[in-house]
Chains A and B, each alone.
Chain A
Amino acid sequence: MENLKYTEILQLNKELVGTIKSKPYEIAVLSNVTVNSFKEVLEYSCRLNQIEPDVELGNFDNIVQDSAVLTNKDMVIIFYDVLNIVDQVSDFFEDLEEEKYSNLKNKLFTEIEIIFENIKNTTSVVFNSFSSAYYNYNNVQVSKIETFVNELNIYLEQKKSSNVSIVNIDKLFTNIGFKQSIDYRFYHSSKAPYTFAFLKNYVASIETVFLRNTGKLKKAIIFDCDNTLWKGVIGEDGMEDIDMSPASKSGKFYHLVQRIAVFLSKRGVIVCLCSKNNEQDVLDVLRHHKDMILKEDHIVIKKVNWIDKASNLRAIASELNIGIDSLVFVDDSNFEINLIKEQIPEIATIQVPTSISDYPDLILKNVYKYFNLVLNSDDAKKTEMYKQQFDREKSKNAFSYIEDYLASLEIELTVVANDKAHMPRIAQLTQKTNQFNLTTFRYSESQIDHFMTDKKHEVYAMFVKDKFGDNGLTGVCIVKEDEIDSKNVIIDTLLMSCRIIGRNIEFVYVCHIIKDLANKGYQKITADYIPSKKNAQVEDFYNKVGFSIIENIDGVKRYKLNIADFEPKKVDYIKINTELD
């Protein structure tokens, strides 16, 4: 997968879609940065492993709120990137005041707790460690951001329950190189920091998590013998000249692979042999070669014969009574590896690399991916005990928890009307906002200018800030007086930027506008919801505010509100500043 181009993955996805007949494996991806192309890579990797994925991306920068909603998934993957955390509080973290530092730290601690609480019943959660690699100024001194990141990571480890897997992002950066992982071009323009190479490697590294959860981990590893367990060909070179000595230049790599095989047999992995040889030759090596540490005791089944390897591997699976897809096959021969790939694609294959020093490493990478290496059942029980204890401690109602959290943010809204200084930003929001946008009408600056000047229109703009920073102009509402009934006003546009969704801001904002319209002498409001590809989340918004539906034509819903009957929703913790008269 690592060598595939993006278009190749798209093409392969197209071919694979619908070929896997199983219940979709539901994955939610929550992130505070843009992770474009991640979905396609993840889908491809699932399909390669015979899992049909159903991937849903959360709202941009809305991890906490999304984690409360997307709780019934099989897997939740969370990208909580330090880059965007830092960008929101400070352009220069090293000079951040102590108070802000500890505020920010406490905010993140709380968020981590809420996220873990919200997703405690999700089978599997993947959470990335925080990284300070973006700010690597000096390798001898510890910067403030490094200290901060370390504190977060320690907290993460303390709070995680057994369903959470932490991906060590710094290790990933090391594997492929930081410059190959991060592309600041797209970060500055679109908040998309990760390169395609990084995302492919990321998916490869979490493969083991979804294999584990879908019961697709492997059970047995089958080794060829010549040039796989030792250097040389026993049938030609003889006992004296095959090499697996820990003291010899290339023998030591085969020695190490044998050590790994022994280790696996101790961890409950079934180790087998499958070799084209005279059986007696191989038995002699197993029994009498002084450097042979993999012994008959470690090996469950030996297929040493001249039958083709596909038949042998099928026989091994059936004798062990395990699925054919539970096997991993190791061989040096291109021919044998391709034969198996072609005949039994469900079997994972590892070909001994030409550069032999990479061999043990390659085996280990696959071993960690495909096998469960938990020592014994007591270990597994222990984690379960920890998990239950964690759950008891956190029996708090998740809803009240979120309300407390939102209250702690000290959210403040400011609403202004018809302020021409903000025309460009307002026009931009009408053009770009898709998710929280009730009608999705797109307007140019000059149209906005016209609405602001026209007496029959009002253009409201909302600014949002909280104790951690200023989100700026993030909400727009345009209303116009009904041409027939001057006591009625029509909401033409109502939108909010997705980064402030999920904090109940929308209710305070709309209530405030309704109040202002009442002050202007209006008695009734008409509002439409027009469905688009992206705005399903606000389908019932007017309902929730207290409007009544009067019409539904092909999903376009028309609502009405008598202002006199309106009961505003109580959201005490959001403060509203008004510059309206």
Chain B
Amino acid sequence: MENTKIKQVMSLVFEVPLESIADHASSDNIENWDSLRHLNLILALEEEFGVSIPDEEVGNLVNYKLIEITINELVK
């Protein structure tokens, strides 16, 4: 459930089709994933899941898997 939602958010923020957000999606293989959009992604995730991502995590969430783990941890 959360996992699809994360991918939907990523697809909207990075302006790419949902199908192209694979489990191995990362800032290396999504071209639009730059530093500015990274901030927008954090904003969107925080709003969507009603969580606050800690400072030290913000810079680390550079691939889908890490985002999934962090969000699932935070919404528990």
Question: Chain A interface (Cβ within 8 Å of chain B)?
Answer: 5-7, 10-11, 14, 34, 36-37, 40, 185-186, 188-190, 192, 196, 432, 434, 533-534
Contact = CB atoms under 8 A, between A and B. Distances in A.
A434 B43 contact: no
Interface string B24-43: 00000001001111011011
B58 A34 contact: no
Given A7-B13, A36-B36, A190-B39, 15 more contacts: A5-B44, A5-B48, A6-B43, A7-B8, A7-B9, A7-B44, A7-B48, A10-B12, A10-B44, A36-B39, A37-B40, A185-B55, A185-B58, A186-B58, A533-B31
Given A11-B12, A533-B31, A189 B55 contact: yes
B40 A6 contact: yes
Nearest to A5: B47
B35 A432 contact: yes
Nearest to B28: A442
Contacts of A190: 35, 39
Given A6-B40, A36-B36, A533-B31, A189 B48 contact: no
Nearest to B48: A7
24 contacts: A5-B44, A5-B47, A6-B44, A7-B44, A7-B47, A7-B48, A10-B13, A10-B44, A34-B36, A34-B39, A36-B37, A36-B43, A37-B39, A37-B40, A37-B43, A186-B39, A188-B55, A189-B58, A190-B35, A190-B39, A192-B39, A196-B43, A432-B35, A533-B31
* 6 shortest interchain CB distances as A-B pairs: A36-B39, A10-B12, A5-B47, A6-B44, A36-B36, A7-B44
Contacts of B12: 7, 10-11, 14
> Which one of B12, B13, B42 has the greatest number of beta carbons of chain A within 10 Å?
B12
B8 to A, nearest CB: 8
Nearest to A533: B31
A6 B42 CA distance: 11
Nearest to A442: B28
Nearest to B42: A186
Given A189-B55, A189-B59, A196 B36 contact: no
Contact of B47 (A34, A186, A196): A196
Nearest to B34: A434
Contacts of A533: 31
A429 to B, nearest CB: 13
Nearest to B52: A185
A185 B12 CA distance: 24
Nearest to A35: B36
Contacts of B31: 533
A99 B34 CA distance: 40
A186 B12 CA distance: 21
Given A7-B9, A11-B12, A36 B55 contact: no
Nearest to B47: A5
> Which one of A10, A34, A434 has the greatest number of beta carbons of chain B within 10 Å?
A10
Contacts of A186: 39, 42, 58
Contacts of B48: 5, 7
A431 B9 CA distance: 26
Nearest to B59: A189
Nearest to B5: A7
Interface string B56-76: 001100000000000000000
A397 B35 CA distance: 37
Nearest to A40: B40
A11 B47 CA distance: 14
A190 B40 CA distance: 12
Contacts of A185: 55, 58
Contacts of A188: 55
A340 B34 CA distance: 42
A34 B43 CA distance: 14
A34 B9 CA distance: 21
Contacts of B39: 34, 36-37, 186, 190, 192
Contacts of B40: 6, 36-37, 40
Nearest to A190: B39
A228 B36 CA distance: 46
Contacts of B58: 185-186, 189
A433 to B, nearest CB: 11
A478 to B, nearest CB: 21
B36 A6 contact: no
Contacts of A11: 12
A191 B60 CA distance: 17
A475 B13 CA distance: 31
Contacts of A40: 40
A58 B1 CA distance: 39
Contacts of B59: 189
